[in-house]
Amino acid sequence: MRESLRFLLGDKLVEIDRCDPTLTVLDWLRLDQRMTGTKEGCAEGDCGACTVVVGRLDRGRMRYEAINACIRFLPTLDGCQLLTVEHLKGADGALHPVQQAMVECHGSQCGFCTPGFVMSLLALRLNEAEPGIGRIEDALAGNLCRCTGYEPIIAAGRRMDEIAPREADRFLLEREAVTTRLAALNDHETLVLQGDGGRFCAPATVEALAALVAVHPQATLVAGATDVGLWVTKAMRHLDPVIYLGRVEALRAITDEGNHLRFGAMAGHIDVRTALAELSPQLDELMRRFGGEQVRNAGTIGGNIANGSPIGDLPPALIALDATLVLARRAETGIARRSIPLESFFIEYRKQDRRPGEFAEAVLVPKLAQGMLFHASKVSKRFDEDISAVCGAFRLTLGSDGRISEARLAYGGMAGIPKRAAAAEAALVGQRWNETAVAAAVAALSQDFTPLDDMRASAHYRLKIAGNLLRRFLIETTQAQTQTRVAGLLAEAVHG
Ligand SMILES: Cc1cc2nc3c(=O)[nH]c(=O)nc-3n(C[C@H](O)[C@H](O)[C@H](O)COP(=O)(O)OP(=O)(O)OC[C@H]3O[C@@H](n4cnc5c(N)ncnc54)[C@H](O)[C@@H]3O)c2cc1C
Ligand code: FES
Ligand code: FES
């Protein structure tokens, strides 16, 4: 066991013996370190003003992630490097190429959002050579400019590598040395930190995690904290003890196991997107619109499921694909595992089938087989960085006679849990995939759902959309030339 938190702040080693489990990185920077370059806008992961870059080892290689400091807990930085806007200036006082590009392109009108934009661009530059405009827009979708000066900021993203070649970037030149220093910090001891506000535990193996959850079944499990962070900053909840899953490397793995993909519960959304894109381009689009890049860098597949939100985006897609959830707990002879269909995990609003001492270990997602049609759509008020009003994912299996032999229609935003539309599915099975079948299924949706009625959408609107998504599915599978997606139209508008 280790009782001190260790990470690099820039190139300086920080060791902390006492720390509250939910002290945010932002509060620590601004209030404790007096590093006020990183700003607070919303304190809920939405605006990007607080963006910092975290370098962490991923299977021995350095990976730089833009994250929201306002909802990230400081002790989760154990073994990482934290870079803030203060670290950009050169020893001679010269601006970093990202900053210089912002100046030259007139990308900064206020001091409030600018540090966040700069840090998002820095992460992009450190990870990718010559990003296209699509990637620059992706990387910046989690940053709000209240005066809408996006054009010059995107121009700065295009300019930064012209100002100074990426290979000559100080952070990349130092990468090997930092990797070595982080490798030395990444031990396999369980980190236990005590603070006035409670205890933070971070095991490094599945066995140590299972033992801790068995001893503290009431503990709050924390993965990416993109939900849990808001319980602290918005709901002012006191969480004690906290068990952090992020140091268990085995939980981050994504493996191809033949007819299915296996996602460790800590697989992050960026990697989940890459893997799911292999199954369907629509899953790629769904994940591209999942939060902003900062949220996708931190958030995990296990957190999206275990949170049990009725409007999470992955559960409908994974239920439609007939995914299995693997839950693990400590047993007398090691680890006991229980596999359940993902859909049965969601019992009722905010109530899931997770027993004391259990944690989500993995999700198994079958690949699409011959004769299967698949669809995933998200409808939200804003195109980027917004939670769904309705999310629909559908999988149909067509028999050799051209009739539907199996239908799995799953929706988010239509009930207190992500849920299948049993009556609509029954209306489809045995039918040919055509307008008549869709009309019957759309009519049956009102037996399946009494939708949520809230600020995101009215119940009437949700029911209407749920039917329209089925119609879109039919159009997309029968009229390939018809443009049905805003994403496609936007790409045409921007890129010609
Ligand atoms: C700005 C913003 C935008 C967002 N946009 C979207 C969006 O577009 N679509 C969407 O679906 N969601 C969105 N979210 C919500 C959130 O990002 C997701 O639900 C995310 O996947 C949560 O994952 P996490 O790793 O951050 O979970 P955490 O916040 O760490 O945990 C969430 C819950 O899961 C539990 N938990 C985590 N891991 C495990 C485990 N392995 N076993 C058991 N319990 C576990 C935690 O105890 C907690 O109850 C957004 C959030 C923010 C702040
Ligand atoms: S302060 Fe708005 S995202 Fe953190
Ligand atoms: S430049 Fe800061 S809000 Fe637009």
Who has greater pLDDT, 427 or 110?
Answer: 427
How confident is the model over 407-447, as pLDDT tens digits? 999 999 999 999 999 999 999 999 999 999 999 999 999 99
Q: Whose CA is nearest to atom 10 of ligand 1?
A: 312
Strands 404-412 and 334-341: unpaired
Who has greater pLDDT, 69 or 493?
Answer: 69
Single pTM value for the model: 0.96
Residues within 6 Å of ligand 3 by CB = 108-110, 112-114, 145-147, 149
Nearest to 215 by CA among 249, 196, 232, 190: 190
Distance 146 CA to ligand 3 centre (A): 5
User: CA-based Rg of the chain, rounded to a whole angstrom?
Assistant: 23
Distance 229 CA to ligand 1 centre (A): 9
Read out DSSP for 217-268? TTSEEESS-TTHHHHHHTT-----SEEE-TT-GGGG-EEE-SSEEEEETT-B
How confident is the model over 9-45, as pLDDT tens digits? 999 999 999 999 999 999 999 999 999 999 999 999 9
Q: How confident is the model at residue 491 (pLDDT cuts 50, 70, 90)?
A: low
Q: What is the pLDDT of residue 149?
A: 83
- From residue 284, give the alpha-carbon distance in Å to each of 205, 238, 268, 269, 270: 31, 36, 14, 11, 10
For residues 435 and 427, the answer to whether their CB atoms sit within 8 Å is no
110 token code pair: 């206020």
In the chain, what percentage of residues exceed pLDDT 90? 92
Distance 465 CA to ligand 3 centre (A): 34
Mutation choice for ligand 2 from 24, 27, 30, 42, CB with most ligand atoms inside 8 A: 42
Q: What is the pLDDT of residue 487?
A: 64
Mutation choice for ligand 1 from 50, 226, 242, CB with most ligand atoms inside 8 A: 226
* Mean of pLDDT values over 472-490: 82
Which stretch of DSSP H or E encloses residue 26? Answer: helix 25-27
pLDDT beyond 50 at 66: yes
- How far is Cα 221 from Cα 462, in angstroms, rounded to an integer? 32
How confident is the model over 334-343, as pLDDT tens digits? 999 999 999 9
Distance 111 CA to ligand 3 centre (A): 7
Q: How confident is the model at residue 147 (pLDDT cuts 50, 70, 90)?
A: confident
Q: How confident is the model at residue 58 (pLDDT cuts 50, 70, 90)?
A: very high
For residues 81 and 185, the answer to whether their CB atoms sit within 8 Å is no
Strands 5-9 and 81-83: parallel
pLDDT beyond 70 at 474: yes
How confident is the model over 368-386, as pLDDT tens digits? 999 999 999 999 998 888 8
90 token code pair: 């050169």
- How far is Cα 77 from Cα 222, in angstroms, rounded to an integer? 13
- How far is Cα 352 from Cα 345, in angstroms, rounded to an integer? 5
For residues 317 and 283, the answer to whether their CB atoms sit within 8 Å is yes
For residues 65 and 53, the answer to whether their CB atoms sit within 8 Å is yes
How confident is the model over 232-252, as pLDDT tens digits? 999 999 999 999 999 999 999
**Mean per-residue pLDDT of the chain:** 95
Distance 406 CA to ligand 1 centre (A): 31
3-state secondary structure 265-290: CCCEHHHHHHHHHCCCHHHHHHHHCC
Q: φ and ψ at 394, to 5 degrees?
A: -135, 140
Residues within 6 Å of ligand 1 by CB = 44-46, 220-228, 245, 265, 290-291, 295, 298-300, 302-304, 306-307, 312-313, 359-360, 385, 387
- How far is Cα 26 from Cα 39, in angstroms, rounded to an integer? 8
Residues within 6 Å of ligand 2 by CB = 40-43, 45-50, 68, 70
Ligand nearest the Cα of residue 316 is: 1
Q: What is the pLDDT of residue 148?
A: 75
280 Cβ contact list (under 8 Å, min separation 6): 368, 374, 376
State the alpha helices, DSSP H only, in 128-249: 133-140, 150-163, 170-173, 175-185, 206-215, 228-233
- How far is Cα 18 from Cα 435, in angstroms, rounded to an integer? 64
Q: What is the pLDDT of residue 481?
A: 83
Nearest to 210 by CA among 303, 300, 336: 336
3-state DSSP percent of the chain in helix, strand and coil, to 5:
40, 25, 40
Q: What is the pLDDT of residue 496?
A: 45
